[in-house]
Amino acid sequence: MTPPLDLNRRQFLGAAGLAAGTALLAGCAPSASAAGTRTLQFWHLLSGGDGVTMSGLLDAVNTAQADYRIRPTVLAWGTPYYTKLAMAAAGGRAPDVAIMHATRVLGWAPGGLLDAWDTGRLADLGVDASTFPDPIWKKGEVDGKRLSIALDAHPFVLMYNTDVCRKAGVLGADGRLKEAKSPDEFLAMVDAIAGVTGGHGLSYGYLGDGSQMWRLFYTLYTQHGIEMEMPQGGSAVIDKDAAVASLEFMQKLLDGKRAAKQADYGTAVAEFATGKSGMFLSGVWELRTMQAAKIPFDIAMIPPLFGTRTAYADSHSFVLPHQSHPDPASRDLVYRFVADMLKGSFGWAEAGHIPAYLPVTESPEYADLLPQAHYAEAAGYVRYDPPAWFTGSGSNFQGQFGAAAQPALLGGGSPADAIARFEEAVTRFLAQPNPADPEGARR
């Protein structure tokens, strides 16, 4: 993630100057026990169910060997986490390894806040391009340097209640959801499901949640076979016809019968979890929520309604926050740790995420893991946020999209006007220099 947009350049640079002296960073110096086990500092932002799963993975790698022990530090998701990580990296006293969203790495590259991975050392440990889906591996490279190693992909997907959908006649002979080939065909399926539930056919929470609006919108937009371009200092490249068509389709879903016109995220989760709707648009991170609800459900990729199969996603990725004087022994063990985590990521799959490491997802054990195996193909079709220093998970960029789109979704406003407002917001972002870029700071 880039330094948060609510942190201006002076605040960011001032915070960075204080980083080396903060008490928070005092624990980041390398340490080794009397038995020779070296402690590695690992920062991440995973809480809730994901936090529990991550703790289990860390326990597994800690007990499997005696050369290193991971000491995790968990910080609040979003601005608190990334601000502290930026301060640590700018001061050269960062943790040995950390988690970042892949979409936020680009913004950190110009300021040297991340150290590059040595691809040769990774390959020696069985981690290279051949062991990752192509779009996920490519996302970790910035200006010819490998700055991140993905642990997963967590795409936006379509969950569906198998009992409700069977009654609605929208399941195939294999018991899985039929794949709609057009917007109208999908709307007809939702209508059929609504006829069974007597309420809504589909649940989708979006009120006040720019990220939720963006995830569905950019899935539909990229299904037109295009992506947005946002060159720094230039003009955004946005296909307005595709953008308007995508937003118009979202309006048709939110007609009050197919899906609630006014629903926040929690309401949508609860509606689907209690069987009051037959479909649910959300991320794979809600898999365990639905398992706990004990409803009969399966998961599929969102069908290619506009012609191209895509899956909006982000990736939790391992990065090397900059250290002025990295300890060679600790750095070597960090490579081992990341390889161990990738090879042991089956447990991460159980939480719903798609492991990025192909030997895991191509294993017989994964093929038997349901419903995860039913949407594993999404890893080969992921579309990340448009590359820019201000985009990515939880960014103000996504919030600005929500501010532009919500009036159209909530009150039936003009999709064209909404896209125009969004384009104006992007233009403002593009005119701002990256706070982490030293060249930008001198301009």
Task: Examine the domain organization and report whether 80 and 215 are in the same domain.
Answer: no
Dihedral of the CA atoms 351, 204, 76, 155 (nearest 10)? 50
**Ramachandran angles phi, psi of 115, nearest 5°:** -90, 145
Domain count, the chain: 2
**Ramachandran angles phi, psi of 14, nearest 5°:** -65, -40
Burial profile 162-195: b = 16 or more Cβ within 10 angstroms, e = fewer = bebbebbebbeeeebbbbbeebeebbebbebbbe
User: Using H for helix, E for strand and C for coil, what is the string for 82-117?
Assistant: HHHHHHHHHCCECCCEEEEEHHHCHHHCCCCCEECC
Greater pLDDT, 243 or 436: 243
**H helix intervals, 134-286:** 134-139, 162-167, 183-197, 210-222, 240-253, 265-273
Task: Examine the domain organization and report whether 212 and 287 are in the same domain.
Answer: yes
Task: Examine the domain organization and report whether 22 and 51 are in the same domain.
Answer: yes
Residue 135 corresponds to which tokens in the numbers above? 């779009």
Instruction: Round to whole Å and give the CA distance between 89 and 115.
Output: 9
Name, in order, each residue with C-beta under 8 angstroms of 328's C-beta and a sequence gap of 6 or more: none
Pairing state between β 382-383 and 145-146: unpaired
Residue ending a domain, choose from 380, 401, 420? 380
20 within domain boundaries: yes
Residue ending a domain, choose from 361, 380, 399? 380
- Per residue in 103-139, pLDDT tens? 999 988 888 889 999 999 999 999 999 999 999 999 9
CA distances, 238 to each of 16, 218, 225 (Å): 35, 11, 12
pLDDT bucket at 77, cuts 50 / 70 / 90: confident
Task: Examine the domain organization and report whether 291 and 232 are in the same domain.
Answer: yes
Nearest to 42 by CA among 95, 88, 80, 85: 95
Q: What is the pTM of this model?
A: 0.90
Please tell me the number of Cα atoms within 13 Å of 414 on its side-chain side.
6
Nearest to 103 by CA among 298, 440, 383, 441: 383
Q: Are 313 and 154 in contact (CB under 8 A)?
A: yes
Task: Examine the domain organization and report whether 141 and 15 are in the same domain.
Answer: yes
Task: Examine the domain organization and report whether 64 and 193 are in the same domain.
Answer: no
Instruction: Round to whole Å and give the CA distance between 166 and 66.
Output: 52
Task: Examine the domain organization and report whether 214 and 298 are in the same domain.
Answer: yes
Task: Examine the domain organization and report whether 304 and 330 are in the same domain.
Answer: no
306 within domain boundaries: yes
pLDDT of residue 14: 38
Is 60 exceeded by the pLDDT of residue 5?
Answer: no
Please tell me the number of Cα atoms within 13 Å of 257 on its side-chain side.
12
Is 50 exceeded by the pLDDT of residue 10?
Answer: no
* Average pLDDT over the chain, rounded to an integer: 90
Residue ending a domain, choose from 345, 364, 380? 380
271 within domain boundaries: yes
Q: Which domain holds residue 327?
A: 9-151+315-380
15 within domain boundaries: yes
- Per residue in 229-283, pLDDT tens? 999 889 999 999 999 999 999 999 999 999 999 999 999 999 999 999 999 999 9
136 within domain boundaries: yes
Amino acid in the structure at residue 391:
T
Pairing state between β 311-314 and 382-383: parallel
Give 3-state DSSP helix, strand, coil % of the chain, rounded to 5.
Answer: 45, 15, 35
Residue 230 corresponds to which tokens in the numbers above? 């946002």
pLDDT bucket at 182, cuts 50 / 70 / 90: very high
Residue 75 corresponds to which tokens in the numbers above? 């910080």
Task: Examine the domain organization and report whether 52 and 126 are in the same domain.
Answer: yes
Name, in order, each residue with C-beta under 8 angstroms of 293's C-beta and a sequence gap of 6 or more: 273, 274
pLDDT bucket at 440, cuts 50 / 70 / 90: low
pLDDT of residue 243: 98
416 within domain boundaries: yes
pLDDT of residue 15: 39
Task: Examine the domain organization and report whether 49 and 88 are in the same domain.
Answer: yes
Task: Examine the domain organization and report whether 270 and 184 are in the same domain.
Answer: yes
199 within domain boundaries: yes
300 within domain boundaries: yes
pLDDT bucket at 349, cuts 50 / 70 / 90: very high
Is 90 exceeded by the pLDDT of residue 331?
Answer: yes
Collapsed DSSP state (helix, strand, coil) of residue 338: helix
CATH of residue 107: 3.40.190.10
Task: Examine the domain organization and report whether 319 and 238 are in the same domain.
Answer: no
Instruction: Round to whole Å and give the CA distance between 241 and 221.
Output: 10
